[in-house]
Structure 1
Amino acid sequence: MDGLTAVHSRISEIQSRFLAPVRPTSTTAAWASAASAAGLTGAGATASPATGTASPASEQAVVSEARKYLGVPYLWGGTDPAKGLDCSGFVQLVYGNLGVDLPRTSAQQATAGTAVASLDSARPGDLVFFDHSSRPGIDHVGIYIGEGKMIAAPQAGETVKVQDVGSPTVIRRVLPAQAAAGTAPGGSLAGVPYADLFTAAGARHAVDPALLAAVASQESGFNASAVSSAGAQGLMQFMPATARGLGVNALDPASAIDGAARYLSQLSGQFGSTELALAAYNAGPGTVRRHDGIPPYPETQNYVRAVMSKAESYR
């Protein structure tokens, strides 16, 4: 396991502990305890991966990096995820981990990059700024993830979470132009069946294309005509009722991949982690809610591990 994978694994472990059925009475204490147990404390929690090489900054990289901190408690002035983050500390951390330096405060960050005319023109990874105080001036920032949603550290007593973006005062794009435009069709998935569809759907719905490819591999072995004994259909193995609910043609690869990306984006926002989203994709959202985590079913647990491993191999 390389340094980046180890850090990702640790953060996922922390999130799963934070979402466990037995919770300490203090959110901050719960997070700090889990982070300490995982060895993510102090400056080490905000350091770049052990390799010292920043990850490429792209729309998907920003959204994936931001999702790692879902559940971290809000802390005014916070820049250490083991203790807590405020809105601009969260944004600075996410972009810093990807090799993009941003100023410390939201007001300063609102001058970085280039202006985006409106929310209709916003792309995943853009910064959305707000003026919530009685005095004029920017005082809040979040990271736009598409579909009218952002990830932000809202206020005291809350945690980093996915929420409606509302009406931003200012929108700024700090990614390089080529990164904001998305990767070329196929990207790192060159040679994977339907790579262009995974890449396009991932960009539309702020989902890692490698994760979509991994789900397709695990579900159907990239067989767009597959039908399971339980009646699940197509490349992404949608049950007919789920496909109807999403408005998806399960046997059409483009429709199925787009529907799976949209569904996984919804599940990630609902449950706060990729692993729980995958568990819900496999066993159903109700089952994940009922067990308050990944269900204790070998099939589902093996499914989550297999998809995460395949996704890593596609990156």
Structure 2
Amino acid sequence: MRISQFQKYSQKENTVTNNVLLMLSRLNDLKVDYYKDIIEKISDGSQEYYPQANFIQQVNSKRGIIDGYIEVKASKIVIETKLRQKELVSKLTKYAEVFKRDAQNQLWHLSSKCYSGKEVEEINEKLKKDYPDTAIQFNNLTFLDLIENLEDVYSENVHDYELKLLYEDFRDYCYEENLVNDSSYKLLFVPTGFSYSWNKKYKMYFCPRNWHKQDFTYFGLYKNKSVRFISKIENVIIADFDIETKKLLVYKSRKETTERQLERLKEALIGYGESQNGLKYYLLPEDEFYSTDFRKESKGGIQGFRYKDLKHFIDKETLDSLRVDEIAEHLKTKIWK
């Protein structure tokens, strides 16, 4: 097993903060543009961020044209980390006293819980009142926000293997330390390629047993830049299968297996026509497996499986009331990057 880049021995806030800073520092070490990109994404692109010197020539001034000009813009980011609660607004805003007038100032609240819209308004009003001459951008962040923004940086630079490892290690660290709990609305979808017809026919998918460490509720089959089918999971079975003897050996299952599930699994593996050892099989419901067209907008296919939080595409209150078939219909009108 590969050693992770992030400490996992403590839940204390200083360790979590250390690992967030380590992730950002590693991102900057890999490429300054990666670090610039994630800061701008976290800020919703509301302002350009300058983490390094700007080299400019032929700059207009009141006294003429300056031939060469090098500018280093001051910036400060203050991060207040909480694990599963929110900081008091009065205490949070006091941290802004370190900011300077002529600088790019960002105040981050990082936690598993977000402030409400009303609380964000209160924070912004208090910052303006207490520091009237200082421009301060407040970012109301969850650990999931950091993961997703880092994923966006990686998805735009999939050629960079070190960036891939950084993203995967930080994502896994946050989930393993229970800093993120979004499984109720999470969709896992997998590229199928040549096996698509088999997956669709038998309503099944297999992969190495250590894949997909995050919890999820919805499962999708992806092909040709779109999620084509979604469902929930009926059961997960780890098993060996010998094509010569047609013998199925089950090691473990998420739920108690039924005769029908074992019959389906064996039939599917005979149809696949190869022996398999120690793989994990997702059995999808026979009667609740729905066609959709949840399309990828950006160029290129996906590199491995993906997770998407459906709350980003369907309003939470609406989502809570929808059946899987209705979610499939809603996703036909949605796109993702």
Superposed pair shares fold, TM > 0.5: no
TM-score normalized with structure 2 length:
0.28
Q: Which has the higher helix share?
A: 1
Greater C-alpha Rg: 2
TM-score normalized with structure 1 length:
0.30
